[in-house]
Structure 1
Protein backbone atom coordinates (compact mmCIF):
# COMPACT_ATOMS: atom_id res chain seq x y z
CA UNK A 1 0.00 0.00 0.00
CA UNK A 2 1.41 3.37 -1.03
CA UNK A 3 1.30 6.02 1.69
CA UNK A 4 1.52 9.65 0.69
CA UNK A 5 4.17 11.74 2.42
CA UNK A 6 3.12 15.27 3.27
CA UNK A 7 4.74 17.84 0.97
CA UNK A 8 7.62 19.62 2.67
CA UNK A 9 9.14 22.97 1.87
CA UNK A 10 12.53 21.37 2.51
CA UNK A 11 12.23 18.67 -0.15
CA UNK A 12 13.93 19.60 -3.40
CA UNK A 13 17.19 19.31 -5.27
CA UNK A 14 20.59 19.28 -3.62
CA UNK A 15 24.03 18.79 -5.13
CA UNK A 16 26.73 16.62 -3.57
CA UNK A 17 30.32 17.52 -4.40
CA UNK A 18 33.36 15.44 -3.42
CA UNK A 19 36.86 16.81 -3.96
CA UNK A 20 40.11 14.88 -3.51
CA UNK A 21 38.79 12.72 -0.68
CA UNK A 22 41.34 10.58 1.15
CA UNK A 23 40.24 8.70 4.29
CA UNK A 24 43.27 8.91 6.56
CA UNK A 25 42.97 5.39 8.05
CA UNK A 26 42.93 3.95 4.52
CA UNK A 27 45.52 6.22 2.93
CA UNK A 28 48.11 3.52 2.31
CA UNK A 29 45.57 0.92 1.27
CA UNK A 30 43.96 3.06 -1.44
CA UNK A 31 47.16 4.70 -2.69
CA UNK A 32 47.75 3.93 -6.35
CA UNK A 33 44.52 2.01 -6.92
CA UNK A 34 41.85 3.16 -9.32
CA UNK A 35 38.76 4.61 -7.66
CA UNK A 36 35.80 6.62 -8.88
CA UNK A 37 35.71 8.54 -5.59
CA UNK A 38 38.93 8.46 -3.59
CA UNK A 39 41.51 11.03 -4.68
CA UNK A 40 39.23 12.36 -7.41
CA UNK A 41 36.44 14.86 -8.04
CA UNK A 42 32.79 13.91 -8.27
CA UNK A 43 29.53 15.86 -8.50
CA UNK A 44 26.14 14.18 -8.06
CA UNK A 45 23.01 16.08 -8.97
CA UNK A 46 19.35 16.22 -8.13
CA UNK A 47 17.62 12.91 -8.75
CA UNK A 48 20.68 10.74 -9.41
CA UNK A 49 20.34 7.11 -8.34
CA UNK A 50 23.89 6.01 -7.70
CA UNK A 51 25.26 2.55 -7.02
CA UNK A 52 28.69 2.50 -5.39
CA UNK A 53 30.30 -0.88 -5.84
CA UNK A 54 32.72 -1.22 -2.96
CA UNK A 55 34.87 -4.33 -2.65
CA UNK A 56 35.55 -5.31 0.94
CA UNK A 57 38.03 -3.04 2.68
CA UNK A 58 37.80 -0.12 0.27
CA UNK A 59 35.97 2.20 2.67
CA UNK A 60 32.28 1.76 1.90
CA UNK A 61 30.97 2.44 5.39
CA UNK A 62 33.66 5.08 5.93
CA UNK A 63 32.33 6.97 2.90
CA UNK A 64 28.70 6.80 4.04
CA UNK A 65 29.72 8.08 7.47
CA UNK A 66 31.65 10.94 5.87
CA UNK A 67 28.64 11.94 3.78
CA UNK A 68 26.45 11.90 6.88
CA UNK A 69 28.94 13.93 8.92
CA UNK A 70 29.81 11.16 11.37
CA UNK A 71 33.54 11.30 10.81
CA UNK A 72 36.05 13.88 9.68
CA UNK A 73 39.30 11.90 9.60
CA UNK A 74 39.89 12.62 5.93
CA UNK A 75 41.57 15.01 3.56
CA UNK A 76 39.58 16.76 0.85
CA UNK A 77 36.04 18.10 0.96
CA UNK A 78 32.47 16.82 1.19
CA UNK A 79 29.89 19.48 0.29
CA UNK A 80 26.12 19.36 0.26
CA UNK A 81 25.32 22.45 -1.81
CA UNK A 82 27.29 25.16 0.02
CA UNK A 83 27.69 23.29 3.29
CA UNK A 84 31.20 21.87 3.65
CA UNK A 85 30.84 19.11 6.21
CA UNK A 86 34.13 19.69 8.04
CA UNK A 87 33.33 23.37 8.50
CA UNK A 88 29.65 23.03 9.30
CA UNK A 89 28.38 23.84 12.77
CA UNK A 90 26.59 21.25 14.88
CA UNK A 91 23.34 23.08 14.16
CA UNK A 92 23.91 23.05 10.40
CA UNK A 93 24.73 19.34 10.34
CA UNK A 94 21.72 18.58 12.53
CA UNK A 95 19.52 20.54 10.10
CA UNK A 96 20.98 18.59 7.19
CA UNK A 97 20.20 15.27 8.87
CA UNK A 98 16.69 16.32 9.83
CA UNK A 99 15.59 17.91 6.56
CA UNK A 100 17.88 16.90 3.72
CA UNK A 101 19.76 13.61 4.13
CA UNK A 102 18.51 10.33 5.58
CA UNK A 103 20.48 7.12 6.02
CA UNK A 104 20.04 3.37 6.36
CA UNK A 105 23.03 2.19 8.37
CA UNK A 106 24.64 -1.18 7.77
CA UNK A 107 24.48 -1.94 11.51
CA UNK A 108 20.88 -0.64 11.82
CA UNK A 109 21.53 1.39 15.03
CA UNK A 110 18.16 0.75 16.61
CA UNK A 111 17.66 1.38 20.32
CA UNK A 112 17.83 -2.22 21.63
CA UNK A 113 15.71 -1.70 24.76
CA UNK A 114 12.87 0.01 22.90
CA UNK A 115 10.20 -1.77 20.90
CA UNK A 116 10.09 -1.72 17.13
CA UNK A 117 7.23 0.77 17.31
CA UNK A 118 9.03 3.01 19.81
CA UNK A 119 12.11 3.13 17.57
CA UNK A 120 9.93 4.34 14.73
CA UNK A 121 7.67 6.63 16.72
CA UNK A 122 10.60 8.60 18.15
CA UNK A 123 11.70 9.46 14.61
CA UNK A 124 8.13 10.10 13.48
CA UNK A 125 7.49 12.58 16.28
CA UNK A 126 10.79 14.37 15.68
CA UNK A 127 10.13 14.96 12.00
CA UNK A 128 6.32 15.20 12.12
CA UNK A 129 5.78 14.47 8.43
CA UNK A 130 4.38 10.91 8.56
CA UNK A 131 1.22 9.87 10.40
CA UNK A 132 1.11 6.98 12.86
CA UNK A 133 -1.26 5.17 10.51
CA UNK A 134 1.21 5.48 7.64
CA UNK A 135 3.94 3.96 9.82
CA UNK A 136 1.61 1.09 10.66
CA UNK A 137 0.88 0.59 6.97
CA UNK A 138 4.58 0.50 6.14
CA UNK A 139 5.25 -2.01 8.91
CA UNK A 140 2.51 -4.19 7.45
CA UNK A 141 3.90 -3.76 3.94
CA UNK A 142 7.35 -4.94 5.04
CA UNK A 143 6.02 -7.76 7.19
CA UNK A 144 6.96 -6.48 10.64
CA UNK A 145 3.56 -5.30 11.91
CA UNK A 146 3.38 -8.31 14.23
CA UNK A 147 6.69 -7.22 15.80
CA UNK A 148 5.33 -3.82 16.82
CA UNK A 149 5.68 -4.49 20.57
CA UNK A 150 8.84 -6.62 20.37
CA UNK A 151 12.07 -5.20 21.76
CA UNK A 152 14.50 -4.34 18.98
CA UNK A 153 17.19 -6.55 20.52
CA UNK A 154 14.88 -9.55 20.21
CA UNK A 155 14.17 -9.04 16.53
CA UNK A 156 15.99 -11.08 13.92
CA UNK A 157 18.58 -9.22 11.83
CA UNK A 158 16.17 -9.19 8.91
CA UNK A 159 13.40 -7.73 11.06
CA UNK A 160 15.75 -5.10 12.46
CA UNK A 161 16.81 -4.19 8.95
CA UNK A 162 13.22 -3.68 7.82
CA UNK A 163 12.50 -1.48 10.85
CA UNK A 164 15.65 0.53 10.08
CA UNK A 165 14.50 0.99 6.48
CA UNK A 166 11.13 2.34 7.61
CA UNK A 167 12.82 4.66 10.12
CA UNK A 168 14.94 6.23 7.38
CA UNK A 169 11.80 7.08 5.41
CA UNK A 170 10.13 8.92 8.30
CA UNK A 171 11.52 12.34 7.43
CA UNK A 172 11.83 14.73 4.51
CA UNK A 173 14.98 14.06 2.49
CA UNK A 174 16.64 15.16 -0.71
CA UNK A 175 19.10 12.27 -0.59
CA UNK A 176 18.81 8.77 0.86
CA UNK A 177 22.08 7.06 1.79
CA UNK A 178 22.09 3.26 2.04
CA UNK A 179 24.90 1.05 3.33
CA UNK A 180 24.19 -2.60 2.43
CA UNK A 181 20.50 -2.04 3.22
CA UNK A 182 19.32 -5.53 2.24
CA UNK A 183 22.15 -7.73 3.54
CA UNK A 184 19.86 -9.70 5.86
CA UNK A 185 16.81 -9.95 3.59
CA UNK A 186 15.67 -12.67 1.22
CA UNK A 187 14.53 -11.99 -2.33
CA UNK A 188 10.86 -11.59 -1.37
CA UNK A 189 11.57 -9.04 1.35
CA UNK A 190 14.11 -7.20 -0.81
CA UNK A 191 11.39 -6.75 -3.44
CA UNK A 192 9.00 -5.33 -0.83
CA UNK A 193 11.65 -2.99 0.59
CA UNK A 194 12.85 -1.70 -2.77
CA UNK A 195 9.26 -1.00 -3.81
CA UNK A 196 8.60 1.08 -0.71
CA UNK A 197 11.92 2.92 -0.93
CA UNK A 198 11.39 3.70 -4.62
CA UNK A 199 7.92 5.10 -3.94
CA UNK A 200 9.06 7.39 -1.12
CA UNK A 201 12.19 8.54 -2.99
CA UNK A 202 9.99 9.42 -5.97
CA UNK A 203 7.51 11.31 -3.75
CA UNK A 204 10.39 13.32 -2.30
CA UNK A 205 11.84 13.95 -5.77
CA UNK A 206 15.09 12.81 -4.18
CA UNK A 207 18.36 11.18 -5.06
CA UNK A 208 19.79 7.99 -3.61
CA UNK A 209 23.22 6.50 -3.02
CA UNK A 210 23.46 2.77 -2.35
CA UNK A 211 26.81 1.25 -1.40
CA UNK A 212 27.25 -2.52 -1.53
CA UNK A 213 29.88 -5.17 -2.11
CA UNK A 214 28.50 -6.80 -5.24
CA UNK A 215 26.70 -5.84 -8.42
CA UNK A 216 22.93 -5.72 -8.09
CA UNK A 217 19.78 -4.52 -9.81
CA UNK A 218 17.87 -3.40 -6.72
CA UNK A 219 17.06 -0.07 -8.40
CA UNK A 220 17.37 1.45 -11.91
CA UNK A 221 20.62 3.31 -11.27
CA UNK A 222 21.61 6.36 -13.29
CA UNK A 223 25.28 5.57 -12.72
CA UNK A 224 27.59 3.02 -11.15
CA UNK A 225 30.85 4.01 -9.47
CA UNK A 226 33.57 1.67 -8.25
CA UNK A 227 34.96 2.84 -4.93
Structure 2
Protein backbone atom coordinates (compact mmCIF):
# COMPACT_ATOMS: atom_id res chain seq x y z
CA UNK A 1 0.00 0.00 0.00
CA UNK A 2 2.88 2.37 0.84
CA UNK A 3 6.50 2.18 -0.25
CA UNK A 4 9.07 4.77 0.85
CA UNK A 5 12.55 4.60 -0.64
CA UNK A 6 15.67 6.57 0.34
CA UNK A 7 13.68 9.62 1.45
CA UNK A 8 15.82 12.72 2.00
CA UNK A 9 14.81 16.21 3.12
CA UNK A 10 16.66 19.29 4.31
CA UNK A 11 15.70 22.85 5.20
CA UNK A 12 17.64 26.11 5.13
CA UNK A 13 17.90 27.63 8.59
CA UNK A 14 19.89 30.72 9.45
CA UNK A 15 22.15 30.40 6.43
CA UNK A 16 22.82 26.73 7.16
CA UNK A 17 21.35 23.54 5.76
CA UNK A 18 19.59 21.37 8.30
CA UNK A 19 19.40 17.72 7.28
CA UNK A 20 16.08 16.28 8.51
CA UNK A 21 15.84 12.95 6.67
CA UNK A 22 18.91 11.09 5.48
CA UNK A 23 17.77 8.10 3.44
CA UNK A 24 14.70 6.61 5.14
CA UNK A 25 13.08 3.53 3.58
CA UNK A 26 10.15 1.36 4.67
CA UNK A 27 6.99 -0.39 3.45
CA UNK A 28 3.48 -0.50 4.87
CA UNK A 29 0.98 -3.15 3.83
CA UNK A 30 -2.80 -2.89 3.69
CA UNK A 31 -4.28 -3.56 7.13
CA UNK A 32 -0.94 -2.99 8.87
CA UNK A 33 -0.15 -0.43 11.56
CA UNK A 34 3.27 1.18 11.93
CA UNK A 35 4.43 3.45 14.76
CA UNK A 36 7.00 6.16 14.02
CA UNK A 37 8.98 6.88 17.17
CA UNK A 38 12.06 8.93 18.00
CA UNK A 39 13.18 12.09 19.74
CA UNK A 40 11.85 15.50 18.75
CA UNK A 41 13.47 16.68 15.52
CA UNK A 42 14.26 13.18 14.28
CA UNK A 43 12.07 13.60 11.19
CA UNK A 44 8.85 11.80 12.16
CA UNK A 45 6.40 14.55 11.24
CA UNK A 46 8.42 15.38 8.13
CA UNK A 47 7.82 11.83 6.89
CA UNK A 48 4.06 12.28 7.33
CA UNK A 49 4.11 15.54 5.39
CA UNK A 50 6.07 13.97 2.54
CA UNK A 51 3.90 10.85 2.40
CA UNK A 52 0.81 13.05 2.45
CA UNK A 53 2.08 15.14 -0.45
CA UNK A 54 2.10 18.28 1.70
CA UNK A 55 5.79 18.79 0.96
CA UNK A 56 8.22 17.40 -1.60
CA UNK A 57 11.43 15.52 -0.76
CA UNK A 58 14.89 16.52 -1.93
CA UNK A 59 15.38 12.93 -3.09
CA UNK A 60 13.72 9.56 -2.78
CA UNK A 61 10.38 8.10 -3.73
CA UNK A 62 6.94 7.71 -2.14
CA UNK A 63 4.59 5.22 -3.83
CA UNK A 64 1.00 4.97 -2.61
CA UNK A 65 -1.26 2.22 -3.92
CA UNK A 66 1.06 1.78 -6.89
CA UNK A 67 1.29 5.49 -7.73
CA UNK A 68 4.46 7.57 -7.44
CA UNK A 69 3.26 10.78 -5.79
CA UNK A 70 6.45 12.59 -6.83
CA UNK A 71 5.29 12.34 -10.44
CA UNK A 72 1.93 13.92 -9.60
CA UNK A 73 0.92 17.54 -10.02
CA UNK A 74 -0.26 19.50 -6.97
CA UNK A 75 -3.84 18.98 -8.17
CA UNK A 76 -3.36 15.23 -8.45
CA UNK A 77 -1.82 15.09 -4.98
CA UNK A 78 -4.78 17.02 -3.57
CA UNK A 79 -7.12 14.48 -5.19
CA UNK A 80 -5.09 11.67 -3.64
CA UNK A 81 -5.48 13.24 -0.20
CA UNK A 82 -9.25 13.51 -0.69
CA UNK A 83 -9.81 9.96 -1.88
CA UNK A 84 -7.02 7.78 -0.47
CA UNK A 85 -5.54 9.37 2.66
CA UNK A 86 -6.99 10.16 6.05
CA UNK A 87 -4.79 12.73 7.78
CA UNK A 88 -4.89 13.61 11.48
CA UNK A 89 -2.36 16.25 12.47
CA UNK A 90 -1.86 17.97 15.81
CA UNK A 91 -3.68 21.03 14.50
CA UNK A 92 -7.31 19.98 14.28
CA UNK A 93 -8.11 22.11 11.20
CA UNK A 94 -11.85 21.91 11.86
CA UNK A 95 -14.08 24.29 9.91
CA UNK A 96 -15.51 26.82 12.42
CA UNK A 97 -18.69 27.48 10.45
CA UNK A 98 -19.69 23.80 10.29
CA UNK A 99 -21.30 21.73 13.02
CA UNK A 100 -19.57 18.67 14.43
CA UNK A 101 -21.73 16.43 12.21
CA UNK A 102 -20.80 18.41 9.09
CA UNK A 103 -17.12 18.51 10.02
CA UNK A 104 -17.11 14.72 10.37
CA UNK A 105 -18.82 14.33 6.98
CA UNK A 106 -16.68 16.94 5.19
CA UNK A 107 -13.90 14.81 3.70
CA UNK A 108 -16.23 11.88 3.01
CA UNK A 109 -18.43 14.21 0.96
CA UNK A 110 -15.41 15.49 -0.98
CA UNK A 111 -14.46 11.87 -1.72
CA UNK A 112 -18.11 11.07 -2.60
CA UNK A 113 -18.16 8.38 0.08
CA UNK A 114 -20.42 9.97 2.67
CA UNK A 115 -22.34 7.28 4.56
CA UNK A 116 -24.60 8.95 7.18
CA UNK A 117 -25.03 5.73 9.15
CA UNK A 118 -21.28 5.05 9.24
CA UNK A 119 -20.56 8.66 10.26
CA UNK A 120 -23.13 8.43 13.06
CA UNK A 121 -21.56 5.19 14.32
CA UNK A 122 -18.12 6.82 14.31
CA UNK A 123 -19.43 9.81 16.25
CA UNK A 124 -20.96 7.49 18.82
CA UNK A 125 -17.77 5.42 19.18
CA UNK A 126 -15.78 8.63 19.62
CA UNK A 127 -18.13 9.82 22.36
CA UNK A 128 -19.53 12.64 20.22
CA UNK A 129 -23.14 11.52 19.76
CA UNK A 130 -24.46 14.35 21.94
CA UNK A 131 -22.20 16.99 20.36
CA UNK A 132 -23.25 16.74 16.70
CA UNK A 133 -25.15 20.04 16.50
CA UNK A 134 -22.43 22.05 18.26
CA UNK A 135 -19.67 24.06 16.58
CA UNK A 136 -15.91 23.54 17.13
CA UNK A 137 -15.58 26.60 19.39
CA UNK A 138 -18.09 25.01 21.78
CA UNK A 139 -15.92 21.91 22.26
CA UNK A 140 -12.94 21.16 24.45
CA UNK A 141 -9.57 20.48 22.84
CA UNK A 142 -9.98 16.74 23.40
CA UNK A 143 -13.42 16.76 21.78
CA UNK A 144 -12.08 18.69 18.79
CA UNK A 145 -9.33 16.09 18.41
CA UNK A 146 -11.92 13.29 18.37
CA UNK A 147 -13.89 15.15 15.68
CA UNK A 148 -10.73 15.41 13.57
CA UNK A 149 -10.08 11.68 13.97
CA UNK A 150 -13.69 10.80 13.10
CA UNK A 151 -13.49 13.03 10.01
CA UNK A 152 -10.40 11.20 8.75
CA UNK A 153 -12.03 7.80 9.27
CA UNK A 154 -15.45 8.72 7.81
CA UNK A 155 -14.06 8.88 4.26
CA UNK A 156 -12.89 5.23 4.53
CA UNK A 157 -9.31 5.99 3.42
CA UNK A 158 -6.78 3.39 2.32
CA UNK A 159 -4.06 4.93 4.51
CA UNK A 160 -4.35 6.89 7.76
CA UNK A 161 -1.52 9.30 8.58
CA UNK A 162 -1.69 10.37 12.21
CA UNK A 163 0.60 12.72 14.15
CA UNK A 164 0.11 12.14 17.89
CA UNK A 165 -3.65 11.73 17.38
CA UNK A 166 -4.34 11.16 21.08
CA UNK A 167 -1.99 13.86 22.37
CA UNK A 168 -4.87 16.05 23.62
CA UNK A 169 -6.80 13.23 25.26
CA UNK A 170 -6.69 11.83 28.76
CA UNK A 171 -5.49 8.23 29.10
CA UNK A 172 -8.97 6.69 29.23
CA UNK A 173 -10.17 8.59 26.16
CA UNK A 174 -6.91 7.86 24.33
CA UNK A 175 -7.32 4.14 24.95
CA UNK A 176 -10.90 4.22 23.66
CA UNK A 177 -9.98 6.18 20.53
CA UNK A 178 -7.03 3.91 19.74
CA UNK A 179 -9.27 0.87 20.15
CA UNK A 180 -11.69 2.31 17.58
CA UNK A 181 -8.89 3.18 15.14
CA UNK A 182 -7.25 -0.24 15.42
CA UNK A 183 -10.61 -1.97 15.04
CA UNK A 184 -11.40 -0.05 11.85
CA UNK A 185 -7.95 -0.83 10.45
CA UNK A 186 -8.59 -4.53 10.98
CA UNK A 187 -12.12 -4.41 9.58
CA UNK A 188 -11.41 -2.33 6.48
CA UNK A 189 -7.82 -3.26 5.58
CA UNK A 190 -6.72 0.36 6.04
CA UNK A 191 -3.01 0.92 6.62
CA UNK A 192 -2.04 3.27 9.44
CA UNK A 193 1.19 5.24 9.91
CA UNK A 194 1.29 7.00 13.27
CA UNK A 195 3.78 9.31 14.96
CA UNK A 196 3.69 8.72 18.70
CA UNK A 197 5.77 9.30 21.81
CA UNK A 198 3.66 6.81 23.75
CA UNK A 199 5.34 3.48 24.43
CA UNK A 200 1.91 1.99 25.16
CA UNK A 201 0.51 2.99 21.76
CA UNK A 202 3.67 1.97 19.88
CA UNK A 203 3.66 -1.44 21.58
CA UNK A 204 0.05 -2.04 20.49
CA UNK A 205 0.85 -1.48 16.80
CA UNK A 206 2.10 -4.14 14.40
CA UNK A 207 5.55 -2.64 13.86
CA UNK A 208 7.71 0.24 14.99
CA UNK A 209 10.15 2.39 13.02
CA UNK A 210 12.49 4.31 15.32
CA UNK A 211 14.19 7.40 13.91
CA UNK A 212 17.33 9.03 15.17
CA UNK A 213 18.99 12.01 13.48
CA UNK A 214 16.97 11.50 10.30
CA UNK A 215 17.78 7.81 9.90
CA UNK A 216 16.22 4.52 10.90
CA UNK A 217 17.93 3.55 14.14
Q: How does 1:118-129 map to 2 (within 5 A)?
A: 118-129=102-113
Q: Which residue of 2 aligns with 1:65?
A: 49
Q: Which stretches in structure 2 are left out of the alignment for 5+ residues? A: 212-217
Tell me, in whole angstroms, the C-alpha distance in 1 between the residues paired with 2:104 and 2:35.
27
More strand by share: 2
Q: Which residue of 1 aligns with 2:11?
A: 25
Query: What are the superposed Cα offsets for residues 105-143 of structure 1, whole Å, 9 maximum, x if unpaired?
Result: 121111123221221232333334353233223222222
Please say if 1:154 is aligned against 2:144.
no
Aligned CA RMSD, in angstroms, stands at: 2.3
Tell me, in whole angstroms, the C-alpha distance in 1 between the residues paired with 2:87 and 2:22.
21
Return the TM-score normalized by structure 2: 0.83
Tell me, in whole angstroms, the C-alpha distance in 2 between the residues paired with 1:40 and 1:210.
16
Tell me, in whole angstroms, the C-alpha distance in 2 between the residues paired with 1:118 and 1:219.
34
Q: Could you tell me whether the CA contact under 8 Å between 1:139 and 1:145 is conserved in 2? A: yes
Return the TM-score normalized by structure 1: 0.80
- In the alignment of these two chains, the number of paired residues is 207
* Bigger shift: residues 21-30 or 147-156: 21-30
* Bigger shift: residues 44-53 or 119-128: 119-128
Q: How does 1:110-149 map to 2 (within 5 A)?
A: 110-149=94-133
Note the C-alpha offset of 1:94. Answer: 3.5
Q: Could you tell me whether the CA contact under 8 Å between 1:113 and 1:153 is conserved in 2? A: no
Q: Counterpart of 1:25 in 2: which secondary structure?
A: strand
Q: Which residue of 1 aligns with 2:165?
A: 181
Q: Counterpart of 2:121 in 1: which secondary structure?
A: helix
Query: 1:145–1:38: structure 2 CA closer, same or farther, 3 Å change rule?
Result: farther
Tell me, in whole angstroms, the C-alpha distance in 1 between the residues paired with 2:47 and 2:24.
14
